[in-house]
Amino acid sequence: MKLECMPCFVRQVLMELDGSDITMEGKEKALRASLRRLSEMDMTLPPVGVSLILHRLLREWGVGEDPYRELKMSSTSKALKILPDLERMLDENGDRLKMAAMMAIAGNVIDYGAANLLSLERTLEDAVHGGMAVDDFEDFGRELLKADTLSYHLDNSGEVVLDGLFIREIIRERPDLRIRAFVKNSPLLNDVTLKDAVDGGLGAVDNVELIELPHEGWVSEDDIDSDEAEIIIAKGQGNYESLSESGRKNLFFLLVVKCDVVSRELGADIGEMIFKRS
Amino acid sequence: MKLECMPCFVRQVLMELDGSDITMEGKEKALRASLRRLSEMDMTLPPVGVSLILHRLLREWGVGEDPYRELKMSSTSKALKILPDLERMLDENGDRLKMAAMMAIAGNVIDYGAANLLSLERTLEDAVHGGMAVDDFEDFGRELLKADTLSYHLDNSGEVVLDGLFIREIIRERPDLRIRAFVKNSPLLNDVTLKDAVDGGLGAVDNVELIELPHEGWVSEDDIDSDEAEIIIAKGQGNYESLSESGRKNLFFLLVVKCDVVSRELGADIGEMIFKRS
């Protein structure tokens, strides 16, 4: 994490408190405890590691296991609602696979909070007309032709509906490909859990095995190093922050840039789409 | 202050650290100390009170007296550059006084950080076409006809250039009016100090006496209560947050809404312009 990530963590604390039913006084105490904990935080942790520590702390203060639950359900149902429109767009488009990839990436804006699907549509439109800021899609397409196995690390609820769209297009290209789609084993922020992935339609896709991470928290470099899949897709900024140092080849980062730190690192503006080979 | 103000304070700390030349290690220590201080903060303080405490703390850690100095100078010079365009707009407009008031309010967006004059222009354009979210300007115009004295509490550097434009129009309406324009007596964030006001052209306006607040920090209700001016103008969200409970009549708040807390309180969206009688 960087020093400048700090305001985001405080915002996350406020969001978890906001979704809880503890008293105003309890919220104030929990916020003070979070600030104290942040003042002593290990700065070598990736951002998601800090989020996890805060999430555990807030549970001690009475915030529920899954404070983003309602937000997650609402973003899933909104994404399911626009799915037929997106499928129609695919039918009208020449390069189905790339278009579906861009839709999955654009879905990453759902992370912003209020599941603002207008900005999803705008993000997608910008990308279709202006292209992606980093575009290693051709590389991915070449690798896909050779691969028999693929791991897909999912990111946010709601967004997972569009990952499903992309995964179905991947399977259309390579009907024998075996896909393992990874979800978190406990709810952190609006990350996809097994239930969220099933709600988003990923439970019913042939070829796809839904797997919970074997440990709480975030995808580590060790997870990636020990994965024998020929292609690994890591969705979202959190996974990029955790895995960008990985030497693993055939690791592809798909995300929308959401803060200055990642913007500087990738040389792309906030809001731009990234399809980057590690 | 509200719990949800906390991320903004952390952002302010980062901005002050960013403008300083202390080492990375020193910045980390200062940020940790700030978070610790925030975890113990008196929540009954107005937001500017919290900013002042953090500002003092950061000076102990080696951040200079005026960390926003360069940003302030650049926003002043940018504002001076568009001044002729704004004056031309006034010449072409029917109601000079109201138009100048709206320009002064729109100038309040300069607070956002990078002195983004594009968004100043957009804010102004929205207001000209869509009106202000709260518009007690007519009330102000009536009071102005009767008044002999007016106090004007300035807010941010850069913005002060547009306050000058408004003040000159006020004087054009009431050439005998005596105006006291208040600045901060020490630099807090991008608040106007005496030097900033002079840089922004307010030193040379007849009728206007530039006065430093008699104490460090923010304008208090006591300051307002003991002020004998017939009209008081308070610019900006910080002054609104500090003085909104004041029972003082003929106090006018001019600001652009910049956060959810004030947005809820005023029933206006972020980015909307407010000309509100107390």
Mark yes or no for CB contact B28/A43 under 8 Å: yes
Which candidate, A80, A6, A156, places its Cα nearest to that of B35?
Answer: A6
Q: What confidence score (pLDDT) does residue B1 get? A: 92
Kindly state whether residue A257 falls inside one of the protein's structural domains. yes
Q: Are residues A273 and A152 in the same domain?
A: yes
A121, pLDDT greater than 90: no
Mean model confidence pLDDT for chain A: 92
Count how many Cα atoms sit within 13 Å of the Cα of residue B139 in the half-sphere of its side chain: 15
Residues B43, A28 contacting (CB under 8 angstroms)? yes
Q: Please state the rounded mean pLDDT for residues A48-64.
A: 96
Confidence of residue A120 (pLDDT cuts 50, 70, 90): confident
B35 and B85, same structural domain? no
Mean pLDDT of A181-201: 95
Got the DSSP string for A244-275? TT---TTEEEEEE--SHHHHHHHT--TT-EEE
- In this prediction, residue A171 carries a pLDDT of 97
Domain shared by B123 and B214, yes or no: yes
Within a domain: A86: yes
Residue ranges of alpha helices (H) inside A110-257 are 117-130, 137-146, 159-173, 194-199, 221-225, 236-243
- pLDDT for res A39: 98
> What confidence tier does B120 reach under pLDDT thresholds 50, 70, 90?
confident
The torsion angles phi and psi of B206, rounded to 5 degrees, stand at -60, 155
Q: Are residues B39 and B97 in the same domain?
A: no
Residue from B68, B74, B42, B44 nearest B55 by CA: B68
Tell me the mean pLDDT in the region A239-267: 93
User: Could you tell me the CA-to-CA distances from B163 to B93, B94, B171, B242, B251 in Å, in that order?
Assistant: 18, 19, 12, 20, 16
Sheet with B149-153, edge to edge strand ranges: B134-135, B273-277, B251-256, B231-235, B149-153, B178-183, B208-212
What is the helix (H) or strand (E) element at residue B47, kind and residue range? helix B47-60
The CATH number of whichever domain residue A242 belongs to comes to 3.40.50.10880
Chain center to CA of B178: 21
Q: Are residues A93 and A155 in the same domain?
A: yes
Q: What is the mean pLDDT of residues A165-169?
A: 97
Residues A104 and A37 in one domain: no
Pick the residue of A11, A39, A264 with the most B CBs within 10 A to test the interface with B by mutation: A39
Task: Please give the average per-residue pLDDT across B172-191, as a whole number.
Answer: 95
Inter-chain CB proximity A6 and B14 less than 8 Å: yes
Let me know if residue A96 belongs to a domain. Answer: yes
Instruction: Please tell me the predicted confidence (pLDDT) of residue B123.
Output: 79
- Identify residue A62 by its one-letter amino acid code: G
- Out of A103-117, B75-89, B124-138, B258-272, least confident range: A103-117
Q: What is the pLDDT of residue B113?
A: 46
Contact at 8 Å (CB) between B221 and B250?
Answer: no
Q: Is residue A66 domain-resident?
A: no
Backbone phi, then psi, for B233, in 5-degree steps? Answer: -110, 130
Answer yes or no: do A45 and A85 share one domain: no
Do A103 and A55 belong together in one domain? no
DSSP state of A191: B
Please state the domain count of chain B. 2
Mean of the per-residue pLDDT values for chain B? 92
Compute the nearest-CA separation of A186 from chain B (Å): 26
- Asked if A6 lies within 8 A of B35 by C-beta distance, the reply is yes
Mean pLDDT score, B206-225: 94
Nearest to B194 by CA among B213, B208, B177, B207: B213
Structure letter (DSSP) for residue B14: H
Residue A166 in any domain: the answer is: yes
Q: Do B47 and B154 belong to one domain?
A: no
Whether residues B6 and A8 touch (CB distance < 8 A) is answered with no
Type of residue at B85: D
Strand partners, A211: A182
Q: With an 8 Å Cβ cutoff, are A3 and B40 in contact?
A: no
Mean of the pLDDT values across residues A137-147? 97
Question: What is the pLDDT averaged over residues B174-202?
Answer: 96
**Nearest-neighbour CA in chain B from A158: distance (Å):** 25
pLDDT digits (tens, 9 = 90+) for B3-47: 999 999 999 999 999 989 999 999 999 999 999 999 999 999 999
| In the predicted structure, residue A111 carries a pLDDT above the cut 70 | no
3-state percent breakdown (helix, strand, coil) of chain B, nearest 5 = 55, 15, 30
Q: Same domain for B269 and B147?
A: yes
**Boundary residue ending a domain (A60, A91, A108):** A60
Prediction ipTM score: 0.89
The arithmetic mean of pLDDT across residues B74-93, rounded, is 90
pLDDT tens for B40-70 read: 999 999 999 999 999 999 999 999 999 999 9
Distance CA B163, CA B154 (A): 8
Do residues B92 and B34 both lie within one domain? no
- Alpha-carbon distance of B243 to A143, in angstroms, equals 63
Other C-beta atoms within 10 Å of A87: how many? 14
Q: What is the pLDDT of residues B245-273, one digit of tens each?
A: 988 989 999 999 999 999 999 999 988 99
Q: Please, what sign has the CA dihedral across residues B240, B242, B247, B248? A: negative
Question: Would you list which residues of chain A are within 8 Å, Cβ to Cβ, of chain B?
Answer: 3-4, 6-8, 10-11, 14, 17, 27-28, 31-33, 35-36, 38-40, 43
**Residue A150 has what pLDDT?**
98
Tell me the percentage of chain A whose pLDDT exceeds 90: 82
Looking up tokens 């942790």 gives: A45
Domain of B25, in residue numbers: 3-60
Based on the domain organization, do B55 and B79 belong to the same domain? Answer: no
Which of A5, A6, A18, A20 to mutate: most B Cβ within 10 Å? A6
pLDDT at B112: 53
In a domain, A26, yes or no: yes
In Å, how far is B8's CA from the nearest CA of chain A? 7
Average pLDDT over residues B62-86: 91
**For residues A164, A165, A170 and A175, what is the CA-based torsion angle, rounded to 10 degrees?**
80
Output the pLDDT for position B192: 96
Is the confidence at residue B110, as pLDDT, over 80? no
